Chains A and B, each alone.
Chain A
Amino acid sequence: VKAWLRRGAVVLLIWGLMNAVLAAVLVFFAGETKALELELYWASTGMLLILVAIVFVPGAEAHPRQTAATAGAPALAFAVACLFGGLAWVFGRYLAFLALPPLAFCVGRWRLERQQ
């Protein structure tokens, strides 16, 4: 039990249960509660409890505990490319060309980092 309690998913479980209790209390205000309020809160709590189940899956423990972090430059370049893509969607397609250099940089750096 002690080892089980040390698992990180216990935090999610405790928090999900706290929300479940609060969402259950909302039902007691049924006279004035609107359906959307209940749906919102229960959907969110349900999602949390599903997340607990996923994190508790025994196979997930087999993942390596430490993995090497990579630099963030490709992610930043990708974000800049996405920004130009979004602007192109609204203001004009010519802006999409400006997304190409950061996209090329992103792909290049990403491949280089994985070769190292």
Chain B
Amino acid sequence: MDLWILGVFLSGLGMLLMGATVLWTALRMRAPGMTLLRMPVFTWSMVVTCLLVIASFPSLLAAMVLLGVGRADPSVVSGNTWTIGYQQLFWFYGHPVVYVMFFPFVGAVSEVLATFSGRRYVGYKPTVLSLLAFAALSMSVWGHHMFTTGEASNNYYSLTSITLSLPAGVEYFGFLATIVGGRLRYPTAMLFALAFIPQFLIGGLSGIMLGTSVVDYHVEDSFFVVAHFHYTLFAGSVFGFFAGLYFWFPKATGIMLNERLGKLHFWLMVIGTNVTFLPMFGLGFLGMPRRVATYPANPGFSTLNLISSCGAAVLSLALMVFLLNLMRSVRSRVPAPADPWDGQTLEWATTSPPPRFNFTAIPPISSYAPLLDLRRAATEDRT
């Protein structure tokens, strides 16, 4: 247990230092010409992620110190501090960290959608503002994890939790406006990004339900909560992660991933994810509690749990296909060109993988899609 406390403390501290480093780099060490409003959406998503890390992770460190001190000398902390104080400290970190786990992937999906729609990301400035507002609101909703304790201001947390849907809506309009009217291509990265949109929406909408304290009293600590956060972090973040991975893997390694295996991986992931996690909403409403190793057969939980288990098997198969793809691609080593996707941001202007210090000369930066600008200027010159 002491080792666990030390480990959590050190990893929290490490994240805090990493957050400060990335934030400082983005805010103070940008390339010449790269103003704040020319940074890619992905960079903005990393900025807000680091802001959340800096503001919320100290609370985790405090919780771990409290836990360590309390274990060494139980007389130091009172009973109420253990039961409620620890929860407050934990959730003050614990809710923002969920956003830390998906904001980078929202940024990755934005880049992938814009690139494979062949157009500039639509609604850039509102999206940046909504990311900042989204992150600020996410700092103010931690108490919705404590609705049923009676020790949180339920009305406030309901208000802020439901208000989260406004900046989320702006981001969704950005996604949809980018793909509607675009000239779409469908490599694996784009498929994962497209699947992210409806699946993450299910996670978000069920979050609004949970943010309403009256609904939360019914489904608190049930499988409904499990379904909600898996739709957010698995159907959302993991799909965003794979969108980013298939998109940037050639740039980072200089090797192309196999598209046929990638698409098989994608379809198995979509089937597996929804077959696994959708029945959990039903299980939660039927009253199945979470964090249990077994359950009684009589309330009718068995069928839904069986469907869920089948989905988990499909997910395992999907991940094996991905590993196979990774191994085959590394072995066959199909070289990646500098810009295999007609990318829009600076990283695609250098070789794959980039040399140390990235560029011999930095391309001119006149917007948040500098390579798209260069391509359009070249086309206009030709005509």
Contact = CB atoms under 8 A, between A and B. Distances in A.
B153 A11 contact: no
Contacts of B84: 34, 36
B209 to A, nearest CB: 22
B64 to A, nearest CB: 13
A40 B59 contact: yes
A100 interface: no
Interface string B19-43: 0000000111110000110000000
**Interface size for chain B: under 10, 10 to 19, 20 to 34, or 35 or more residues?**
35 or more
Contacts of A10: 36
The majority secondary structure among interface residues of chain B is: helix
Nearest to B59: A40
Contact of B132 (A14, A29, A41, A47): A14
Contact of A18 (B2, B58, B136, B155): B136
Contacts of B338: none
28 contacts: A8-B28, A8-B30, A10-B36, A18-B136, A19-B140, A22-B140, A25-B140, A26-B140, A26-B156, A29-B153, A29-B156, A32-B156, A33-B153, A34-B152, A36-B88, A40-B88, A41-B139, A44-B55, A44-B59, A47-B58, A55-B28, A60-B28, A63-B28, A65-B28, A86-B7, A86-B10, A89-B6, A90-B2
The 3 closest A-B CB pairs, nearest first, are: A8-B27, A18-B136, A22-B140
Given A65-B29, A90-B3, 16 more contacts: A6-B35, A8-B30, A11-B47, A11-B51, A12-B27, A19-B139, A26-B140, A29-B155, A32-B156, A33-B156, A34-B84, A37-B88, A37-B152, A40-B88, A44-B58, A66-B29
